[in-house]
Chains A and B, each alone.
Chain A
Amino acid sequence: DIQMTQSPSVLSASVGDRVTLSCKASQNINKNLDWYQQKLGEAPKLLIYFTNNLQTGIPSRFSGSGSGTDYTLTISSLQPEDVATYFCFQYNSGYTFGAGTKLELK
């Protein structure tokens, strides 16, 4: 099974900061990776699909990049409403979620 390692597990940042979240796969996943945002008490919400494609309606401050085993979610200017937990999800071989990065305001 493919393992997905997210880092950091918790990230504290200030409004307006550029924030980078990392997701590393145990083997090449050929860009078959999505990013989800989950707020307390809600179902996960798709932000980015196939590594770098923004879902309809998602603010352009969110972006994704990566290839091979290493992937990144970037928020260009953190907003208060971005406080949430972020999960990566691979579907190249089977399906696996990362453990998540909890994003907090400093």
Chain B
Amino acid sequence: QVQLKESGPGLVQPSQTLSLTCTVAGFSLTSYNVHWVRQPPGKGLEWMGVIWNTGGTRYNSALKSRLSISKDTSKSQVFLKMNSLQTEDTATYYCASLHSSYMGYFDYWGQGVMVTVSS
């Protein structure tokens, strides 16, 4: 059964670094990518970045200078680190394994973790 679960602090102080972990089950990180997507309260979805099965990464250009995504394949974990947090970074953060093409889809999301940036 495919599962993804985000974990991390619910509260981060302004200017500090956010560290989140996505623990996956039911598939291998050597075969599928993992994306991070966030959603501020009452607002839309923002794609943040992806780590591909190969270990390559791609980031949202608006976040690129602050964001890093890495993984530990042996532990089935993907890590997000984002520095210089501000109040506008308050959001629910999702990890998801997404892959669609004309051949089919692989689409699984975590439940999300709410992160509040506040002093």
Contact = CB atoms under 8 A, between A and B. Distances in A.
B72 interface: no
Contacts, number: 58
Question: Chain B interface secondary structure, helix, strand, loop or mixed?
Answer: strand
A35 B38 CA distance: 17
A43 B101 contact: no
Interface magnitude class on chain B: 20 to 34
Given A50-B100, A94-B58, A43 B47 contact: no
Interface residues of A, number: 24
Interface string A69-106: 00000000000000001010101001111111000000
| Residue among A1, A32, A49, A89 with most chain B CB within 10 A | A49
Interface of A: 1, 31-32, 34, 36, 38, 43-44, 46, 49-50, 53, 55, 85, 87, 89, 91, 94-100
